[in-house]
Chains A and B, each alone.
Chain A
Amino acid sequence: MKVDLEHLSRLASLELNEEERKILPGQMEKIIDWVGQLSSLVTEGEEKYTRLDFSLRLEEDRVEPSLPQAEVLAMAPEKEGDFVKVPRVFREK
């Protein structure tokens, strides 16, 4: 099946390089046809089965210390004061 790679890569915030633009469409088409085998074998209305089931424990909602701000900020590629800095979001007209 043909896929609109331009659209998908926009959704996924990815840019494709020259080589990927050449190879990927064919590969993706093959992979999507291959996973598409499912449609011929799995029919509607088979939801009656249960998944692996174990009881999950609910946690009390309590306040406790989290990672120190300085350590977290130290990982950021760019920062200013107590903030993580990113390139501008809005452009001027």
Chain B
Amino acid sequence: MRYIDLGLREAVDLVRAGQLKAAEIVESYISHIESVDREIRAYLTLACDRALSRAKEIDGRREKGRLAGAVLAIKDNIVTRGLKTTCGSRILENFVPPYDATVVERLETEDAIIIGKTNMDEFAMGSSTENSAFFPTRNPWDLERVPGGSSGGSAAAVAGLEAMAALGSDTGGSVRQPAAFCGIVGLKPTYGRVSRYGLVAFASSLDQIGPLTRSVEDCALLTSVIAGFDRRDSTCADHPVPDYLEGLDSFQEKIKVGFLGEASLKGVNPEVAAIYHRIQELVSGLGFEVVRMDFPSWEVALPCYYIIAPSEASSNLARYDGVRYGFRAEAAGLADMYARTRTAGFGSEVKRRILLGTFALSSGYYDAYYARAARARQVITAELQAAFRRVDFILTPTTPEPAFKLGEKQDPIAMYLQDYYTVAASLAGIPGISIPCGLTPDGLPIGLQVLSEPFGENRLFKFAFLLENNIKFKNNMYRINNRGRRKNES
């Protein structure tokens, strides 16, 4: 058995028990990355030397943190002191942050080892990682296909066994959708559960950092470390963080589970629908009461999201003006310098969203667009709140279809429809986890999204763990590995 096959929890237990050296694990990741990342291209920046010296330092210590020996990849919109953080954009191409994000600080305090920064859609705007200013990342299950996005590099790194786990960020589905496309677990925590300090802002009322992992257990462990109050993020909730691993395998409640009715599944690919219906049988077979529900407001969730998120983005991205850091274009006057810097520094999707947000907030249109979207957001939230009075969890497909091919979605709106099942939870601020739940006849993974009440992560993990054990998708992880190996040998 190779070290890269070890799950995060297993590896950490061995390192902490002194049975395995962190440096040996890091070395095996470095050699695997060298052999597969030419094709997958999950990483924008590798930090191999830094990771190795960190591992040796940890090996030399008797006291070891909760994540000793965990080899992690970090999405490139989460700042890392001394390690380039580009956000997938030319405008930050050479940006080396002078500080660490809170999540990075917390991971490193527990002796996690960062092996590199992962590719992403520029400023997290996209669902395929094709909007990266540098290069697209490929799906380890099928190199012709996208890994999803915007945390596509993080998802591909985990699925391709180029990291034990990764962090991503989710604004409208950017952790859950790539996790689904790559056959792994991805969590968008409750808004306010994890500090956003050091996460490059896209849409501040929606952004959350979340883990992408090989199992629910690994996800629970990482969330235990990164969650919790941070005085440097005023929207971070002062809410206790339980040890999410405790009692993970002990879900015994008699609960009600919401499944979408036909009306909410009309846009879904038939292969995805078939797997979703099988999950419904499995859940009722486990003795849970299945409740059919429809969410009429989801019809407007996407338009609502695509007004709110670009509006916030147009404001947040005003800071990239070439003055204090990042790229600057030459110009004779200050105003020209701003415009030329932004014009040369941003890619077309980012420009589209800035313009869309500028429009929605502009005089004469604000009430018809932004204010109305804010009201729609309240309706969507209220509908979900009402649903959680009837059921404990809501299960949906994570995405309407499996991973698509690179270049397949040229129309921006076709790409936006990827977020159909994920945006409602983002707008309402509730947690959602995507777990792999089956394969299409072509062998592409499908994700199941489990939604819960705000700050319900503890029960959410337990229920997802139970589903994971009954779906038994875990066993298929090695397919990715072997496929990667075959491709490489041929």
Partner of A86, one of B237, B326, B337, B378: B337
A75 in contact with B333 (CB, 8 Å): no
Residues A31-67 near B (CB distance < 8 A): 31-32, 34-39, 41-42, 46-47, 49-52, 54-57, 59, 67
Does B3 interact with chain A (Cβ within 8 Å)? no
Task: Find the A residue at minimum CB distance from B343.
Answer: A15
B381 in contact with A13 (CB, 8 Å): no
Distance to closest chain A CB from B457 (angstroms)? 14
Decide: A75 near B95, CB < 8 A? Known: A13-B339, A47-B375. yes
Q: Scan A3-25; emit 1 where CB is below 8 A from any B CB, else 0.
A: 10100110111111100100010
Decide: A49 near B337, CB < 8 A? Known: A31-B352, A32-B359, A41-B299. no
Does B35 interact with chain A (Cβ within 8 Å)? no
Q: Scan B367-394; emit 1 where CB is below 8 A from any A CB, else 0.
A: 0110011011111011001000000000
Does B322 interact with chain A (Cβ within 8 Å)? yes
Count the A residues whose beta carbon is within 8 Å of the partner chain — how many? 52
A12 in contact with B303 (CB, 8 Å): no
B454 in contact with A52 (CB, 8 Å): yes
Q: Which segment, of B46-54, B166-174, B227-235, B280-288, faces chain A?
A: B227-235
Task: Find the B residue at minimum CB distance from A53.
Answer: B454
A49 in contact with B378 (CB, 8 Å): yes
The prevalent SS among residues of B at the interface is helix
Measured between beta carbons, the chain A residues less than 8 angstroms from B324 are 72, 75-76, 84
Measured between beta carbons, the chain B residues less than 8 angstroms from A24 are 351-352, 355
Does B306 interact with chain A (Cβ within 8 Å)? yes
Does B405 interact with chain A (Cβ within 8 Å)? no
Count the B residues whose beta carbon is within 8 Å of the partner chain — how many? 72
A27 in contact with B352 (CB, 8 Å): yes
Measured between beta carbons, the chain B residues less than 8 angstroms from A27 are 352, 412
B342 in contact with A13 (CB, 8 Å): yes
Residues B419-459 near A (CB distance < 8 A): 428-430, 454-455
A8 in contact with B359 (CB, 8 Å): yes
B369 in contact with A35 (CB, 8 Å): yes
Does B485 interact with chain A (Cβ within 8 Å)? no
Measured between beta carbons, the chain B residues less than 8 angstroms from A31 are 306, 352, 356, 412-413
Decide: A88 near B375, CB < 8 A? Known: A17-B343, A38-B303, A67-B98. no
Partner of B306, one of A20, A35, A50: A35
A30-B326 Cα distance, complex, nearest whole Å: 33
A37 in contact with B300 (CB, 8 Å): yes
Residues B334-371 near A (CB distance < 8 A): 334-340, 342-343, 346, 348, 351-352, 354-356, 358-360, 362, 368-369
A52 in contact with B354 (CB, 8 Å): no
A77-B92 Cα distance, complex, nearest whole Å: 12
Distance to closest chain A CB from B290 (angstroms)? 27
24 A-B residue pairings within 8 Å (CB atoms): A3-B359, A14-B342, A17-B343, A24-B351, A27-B352, A28-B352, A28-B359, A31-B306, A31-B413, A35-B360, A35-B369, A35-B373, A39-B372, A46-B375, A49-B382, A54-B192, A57-B229, A72-B98, A75-B324, A75-B325, A75-B326, A77-B322, A77-B325, A86-B337
If A37-B299, A49-B379, A75-B325 are given as contacts, then 7 extra A-B residue pairs at C-beta distance below 8 Å, sorted by A number, are A20-B348, A28-B352, A46-B379, A54-B192, A75-B324, A88-B333, A91-B333
